[in-house]
Each structure stands twice: as C-alpha cells, then as structure tokens.
Structure 1
Amino acid sequence: MSVQHSKAAVPEAAWVKSSYSTGNGGECIEVAAVSGAFIVRDSKQPAVAKLAFGPEAWDDFLRMAAER
C-alpha cells in the first residue's frame, strides 16, 4: 500500500462509490482501477491523499474486509 501524492488525474468516471455509502454524511470511500493499481479516496474529501494498492495487496485488503 502507498499514499499517492501525484497530481496525476484519475478521470471522475473511473471512481466507484462504496455500495455501503448511504449519502447521508457517513464514512464513504471511492475506488478507481487504473493501470495495475486500485486507488482509494475519501468521497467527502477527494482532493486529499489517496491510497494505492497493487493487485495482490488489494485482494488481501478485500479478503480482510470480508472477514469483518
């Protein structure tokens, strides 16, 4: 996992909001799949730092999240 500091633009259409997002101000994340990585951002503060996961780390993250 790494924090993405570049200003490289991910097209807005690439971002997918979590299905757990209710739209009423709760904690929400968005994910974009780009060139060999999965980028995660806070939907309420999209310009703030993003997290980047490689494919294996993303699979591990999803597996852990499913166990919770």
Structure 2
Amino acid sequence: MIHNRPGAIAEGWRKASYSGGEGRACVEVGEVGADRAIRDTQHRELGALAFGRSEWAALLVAAKQD
C-alpha cells in the first residue's frame, strides 16, 4: 500500500539516479523503516510517498521499462 506521509522522517535521503540533471525535476529516495519513500526535492514540506517492498519493486520494474 502506498501512503502519503507528510511528516515522514526518512534516513539517508539521496537524489534519484533518474532525476534530471538541471535540478528542476528532482526526486529524492529515502528509507522509512522497512518502506522506501520518494519526495519532491523542491517541495519537501509536502511530505513523501512511502511504498512497501512489493510496491517499491513494482515501481522500479515499471520505471526501467520506460
């Protein structure tokens, strides 16, 4: 299940490798417990979307097919 976590405190936020190089279309990836989360670099105050393991794996498969 995907959750919007406005107050999500993730560890080890890092810029996603598929983010644009100009800094305008960046997302960050972090860990929230056993979940993975993504957030908009320019709007961190809006929180993050957290994905369970199976959802995260499906997202990565879909992203690599694009």
| Same fold at TM > 0.5 | yes
For the residue of structure 2 that corresponds to 1:45, the secondary structure is helix
Q: In the alignment, residue 20 of structure 1 is paired with which amino acid?
A: Y
Q: 1:3 is matched with which residue?
A: 4
* Mapped contact 2:10–2:31 kept (Cα < 8 A): no
Higher relative contact order (CA 8 A, sep 6+): 2
Q: What is the number of equivalent residue pairs in this alignment?
A: 64
Identity among equivalent pairs (%)? 31
Q: CA deviation at 1:39?
A: 1.0
Q: In the alignment, residue 9 of structure 1 is paired with which amino acid?
A: I
Higher strand share: 2
Q: In the alignment, residue 67 of structure 1 is paired with which amino acid?
A: Q
Whole-Å separation in 2 of the counterparts to 1:39 and 1:64: 16
Q: 1:49 is matched with which residue?
A: 47
For the residue of structure 2 that corresponds to 1:3, the secondary structure is strand
**Of the two, which has the highest radius of gyration?**
1
Any gaps of 5 or more consecutive residues in structure 2?
A: none
